[in-house]
Chain A
């Protein structure tokens, strides 16, 4: 690599005035985006605080925070033992998981929309969700425990992507088109598989279990679920954050990216694997939650533009807040829980129609 520095020719160095002006333009672009991201972060914290207090079992706001602090610094106990059990076993993990899943789905959606140069791509464009659904359905048929169901869903989800990559690497034609087509096909194949499992499932217990799983829910999330999911989610999100500037370059197309020194294929594989990892983990834990990955990145794009250096963190924060709010509605709106997957679709589909009718570029 020693000759690398020699290879660069010496263009006229930018005059001092040009330097500062360029930075000024860049900074001006950054400022509003930074404010937006900061606002999203504050909003998220506020929402978490509010959500900790919300619930059918009343926990005093002060007690909620005392319980959290008590884990680090022992405080005088002013709350009941039942409240503490409920708080740490049910409410707290559920809120954490809503944040994590929302951030992951939005980040994965943003990543796929960039790498496949397609504004309509969503986290399940390559069949990650349908793969997970088939895995989960088979596990439910086999009478597996909740953990085995999640693990099977995860393995199936990741395998689906590997399968899609294998198919597309053997197909001829536009790489991106072929990959998306393979994803759509495998997805619909697996969705037929899910239908078949429903057909043969025991209608008294297995069928409702499959149906309920497909609708997505955060009801049964416990603290150890959060702990298990945290690692792959953190790994995937960190990768996407590290790659986010390069996703910009990918949107110009593979050949152009290559002439600018960016190995488009390598980046696409890395980004796709990272996005799939967090999608698969999310789906395995919570079932199918649609629309977050499609809608949230678009909202962020409208607010701060397409630069993934800002879009990726903004999408994560907004996705987290969005899913937390929807999950609050899901657990509080009616006496029996509304599956969160239904709610996100209720919000997502009309919003999508609005996007189409806005008569502007997406």
Chain B
């Protein structure tokens, strides 16, 4: 089991954000987390990543209880891909990827040749090795996101969390990044990502997890979860869910635009 969350509750001070959430994500599963802004998706991710220490309940990653792991040990189990962002300083792409490779090094050690190799291999696996000696802040948003994917791979963790990886990308880059993620899940990694597009969940997830007002609303196959009723409930928009190519794919269309 990649991620096993039991009765998770979390509050920022007196502000309760997550209520009694339980779910299990098997190995090699690509999970899409849906829910409007501010319902606790990011908070849930932070809990699973070990960044919100004061949670109630139990979180296990790859069979290990999160509370029993050190920061380094945690980094060997689970990696995080943030939204592509502009760092203050201009690092080389290879140096950016290498930053995640230090979880087997002691406090004073620096990455060695094997870490360089690991970083470069990760760039190749994502298909952006040609960017290795470019400056990270000078490449496009889509390329930056792929480099961050490579950085998570170089970390050698089996589980990866992505927080809205495509929200700042154009259509082409969105498809490229999500295809890459899809492929990595097929290769055996467990990936959890949040998104604002129900259509993306149809295309790029094995299971869809819905969070609303801090509670787990649904967790099943995308076709079972993403219905007219669910989308209307979540986002307050009426949609028609249509199937294409013998129901291999489904899409949501706002009904207000159909007439």
Which residues of A pack against B, CB within 8 Å? Answer: 4, 7-9, 11-15, 18-19, 21-23, 25-26, 28-29, 114, 117-119, 242-246, 248-249, 251-252, 255-256, 258-263, 301, 305-307, 309, 361
Assembled-state Cα–Cα distance A117/B91 (Å):
13
Which residues of B pack against A, CB within 8 Å? Answer: 46, 49-51, 62, 64, 71-80, 82, 87-92, 94-95, 99-100, 102-104, 107-108, 110-111, 113, 116-121, 123-125, 129, 132-133, 137, 151, 153, 155-158, 188
Closest chain B CB from A336 CB (angstroms): 42
Chain B residue numbers with a CB within 8 Å of A119 are 88-89
Max count, chain A CB within 10 A of own CB: residue among B49, B75, B121: B121
Chain A residue numbers with a CB within 8 Å of B133 are 25, 28-29
Assembled-state Cα–Cα distance A8/B87 (Å):
28
Among B87, B89, B100, B116, contact of A261 (Cβ-Cβ < 8 Å): B100
Chain B residue numbers with a CB within 8 Å of A249 are 99, 102
7 A–B contact pairs at CB < 8 A?
Answer: A4-B73, A19-B120, A255-B49, A258-B75, A260-B100, A261-B71, A262-B71
Closest to B74 in A: A261
Chain B residue numbers with a CB within 8 Å of A305 are 90-92
Closest to A243 in B: B108
Closest to A238 in B: B108
Contact between A8 and B156, CB atoms less than 8 A apart: yes
Known: A7-B77, A261-B74, A305-B91. A12 touches B155 (CB 8 A): no
For the complex of A and B, the 3 pairs showing the least CB-CB separation, nearest first, are A22-B120, A261-B75, A261-B103
Contact between A248 and B95, CB atoms less than 8 A apart: yes
Contact between A263 and B71, CB atoms less than 8 A apart: yes
Chain A residue numbers with a CB within 8 Å of B74 are 259, 261
Contact between A23 and B102, CB atoms less than 8 A apart: no
Known: A4-B73, A4-B76, A261-B103. A19 touches B92 (CB 8 A): no
Chain A residue numbers with a CB within 8 Å of B100 are 260-261
Closest chain B CB from A3 CB (angstroms): 9
Known: A11-B153, A22-B120. A252 touches B99 (CB 8 A): yes
Contact between A18 and B72, CB atoms less than 8 A apart: no
Contact between B88 and A260, CB atoms less than 8 A apart: no
Known: A4-B104, A9-B158, A307-B95. A259 touches B117 (CB 8 A): no
Contact between B88 and A21, CB atoms less than 8 A apart: no
Among B76, B87, B94, contact of A22 (Cβ-Cβ < 8 Å): B94
Known: A4-B76, A22-B119, A309-B110. A260 touches B87 (CB 8 A): no
Assembled-state Cα–Cα distance A301/B90 (Å):
9
Closest chain A CB from B100 CB (angstroms): 4
Max count, chain A CB within 10 A of own CB: residue among B75, B117, B118, B119: B117
Closest to B77 in A: A7
Known: A11-B153, A119-B88. A256 touches B102 (CB 8 A): no
Contact between B88 and A118, CB atoms less than 8 A apart: yes
Chain A residue numbers with a CB within 8 Å of B90 are 305-306, 361
Max count, chain B CB within 10 A of own CB: residue among A4, A7, A243, A255: A7
Closest chain B CB from A361 CB (angstroms): 7
Contact between A260 and B155, CB atoms less than 8 A apart: yes
Closest to B123 in A: A22
Contact between B102 and A7, CB atoms less than 8 A apart: no
Contact between B117 and A23, CB atoms less than 8 A apart: yes
Max count, chain B CB within 10 A of own CB: residue among A21, A244, A256: A256
Closest to B122 in A: A11
Closest to A119 in B: B88
Closest to B80 in A: A259
Contact between A18 and B102, CB atoms less than 8 A apart: no
Chain B residue numbers with a CB within 8 Å of A255 are 46, 49, 51, 80
Assembled-state Cα–Cα distance A307/B94 (Å):
11
Known: A260-B75, A261-B100. A251 touches B95 (CB 8 A): no
Closest to B153 in A: A11
Among A22, A117, A245, contact of B102 (Cβ-Cβ < 8 Å): A245
Known: A259-B78, A259-B79. A22 touches B132 (CB 8 A): yes
Closest to A27 in B: B116
Contact between B129 and A262, CB atoms less than 8 A apart: no
Max count, chain B CB within 10 A of own CB: residue among A19, A26, A251, A263: A26
